[in-house]
Amino acid sequence: MSRIKNAFANNNKAFIAFLTAGDPSIDKTEEFIYKLIEGGADLIEIGIPFSDPIAEGAVIQSANIRSLSGGTRIKNVFELVERVRKNTQIPLVFLTYMNTVFKYGTEEFFRKCSETGIDGIIIPDLPFEEKGEIKEPANKYGVDIISLIAPTSENRIKLIAQESEGFVYVVSSMGVTGMRSEIKTDLKSITESVRKYTDNPIAIGFGINSPEQAEKYSKIADGVIVGSAIVKIIEQHRENSGEYLKEYANKMKSAMI
């Protein structure tokens, strides 16, 4: 079984934690990943910082800027993955924008993912129609392409779900990433519709930040993804975020059934 599938095995509701690599430093990101795992994270989503993250709200945008201002390079992010992989078998997925992969050289990028221990990749500006851009090398090097399904996907759900790999990322709300007090989308009907076309686990993300939301959506889906709330903790506590992250992950994971 793949590491990603492992995270959802035996009906485990997966807590998926996102953080931006290099905020505030690569060393600290490594430490924070371990703390999130100690707190109960089942899968870690590592954001490769990008100059123009169009799918991100203000919180993660700022983390991207902080990381890049601190001098983070792609090679540092791969070094981070390599180090983390030596210490844990937790599934690791990248969140990155297409230009990062393209400029690195798509083939070389996925070879490097495989070599360092990345299990999957999420590219918010690569819709189903353009998947051909990465499909061959991603499959060749065994990196799952995690597909996103949005509240507006409707008739596209079948198309996307049928070809999904790893898990399906259901976007909870319109717009960009960021904490939301209320999510209005009918996520139950979307997840039900996704399940008709795939056996892959489903995780819900965008806007989720409270244990109440984690509980609510873990009943509908197989996992929840939290990004901005984690990045916000890092923004507040900087180098000292470790224990806060552990505590937060624990709180969220405990709320999930």
Partner 1 sequence: MSEKGRYGIHGGQYIPETLMNEIHHLEECYEFYKNDKEFNDELNTLLKEYAGRPSLLYYAEKMTKDLGGAKIYLKREDLNHTGSHKINNVLGQVLMAKKMGKTRVIAETGAGQHGVATATAAALLGMECEIFMGKEDTDRQRLNVYRMELLGAKVHAVTSGTQTLKDAVNETMREWVSRVHDTHYVLGSVMGPHPFPMIVRDFQSVISKEAREQILEKEGRLPSAVLACVGGGSNAMGMFYNFINDKDVKLIGCEAAGKGVDTDRTAATMATGKLGIFHGMKSYFCQDDDGQIAPVYSISAGLDYPGVGPEHAYLRDSGRAEYVPVTDDEAVEAFEYIAKTEGIICAIESAHAVAHVMKIAKNYSKDDIIIVCISGRGDKDVAAIARYRGVDINE
Mask for 85-104, x = binds partner 1 (CB under 8 A): ------------xxxxxxxx
Q: Which of 10, 11, 89, 155 binds partner 1 (CB under 8 A)?
A: 155
Q: Which is nearer to partner 1, 201 or 207 (CB)?
A: 207
Q: Which of 135, 156, 195, 237 binds partner 1 (CB under 8 A)?
A: 156
Q: What angle do CA 180, 183, 188 make, to 5 degrees?
A: 145
Lookup: tokens for 197: 């076309």
Closest approach, Cβ 122 to partner 1, in A, equals: 11
Per CB under 8 A, the segment of 80-88, 135-143, 173-181, 216-224 that binds partner 1 is 173-181
Count of residues touching partner 1 (by CB under 8 A): 43
What stretches of the chain adopt beta strand conformation (E)? Answer: 14-20, 43-47, 92-95, 120-122, 144-145, 147-149, 168-171, 202-205, 223-226
Q: Phi/psi at 88 (nearest 5 deg)? A: -155, 150
Q: Taking the CA atoms of the chain, what radius of gyration do you get in angstroms?
A: 17
Does residue 91 contact residue 44 with C-beta atoms inside 8 Å? yes
Q: How far apart are CA 72 and CA 25, in angstroms?
A: 8
Pairing of strands 92-95, 43-47: parallel
Mask for 193-232, x = binds partner 1 (CB under 8 A): ----------------------------------------
Does residue 177 contact residue 58 with C-beta atoms inside 8 Å? no
Per CB under 8 A, the segment of 25-33, 45-53, 189-197, 247-255 that binds partner 1 is 45-53
Q: Which of 122, 161, 171, 249 binds partner 1 (CB under 8 A)?
A: 171
Closest approach, Cβ 240 to partner 1, in A, equals: 27
Q: Which is nearer to partner 1, 148 or 187 (CB)?
A: 148
Residue 182 binds partner 1 (CB under 8 A): no
Place of tokens 């997925």: 93
Q: Is 55 helix (H, G, I), strand (E, B) or coil?
A: coil
- The site for partner 1 (CB under 8 A) is made up of 50-52, 54-55, 57-58, 61, 65, 68, 73-74, 97-104, 124-130, 133, 147-156, 160, 171, 174-176
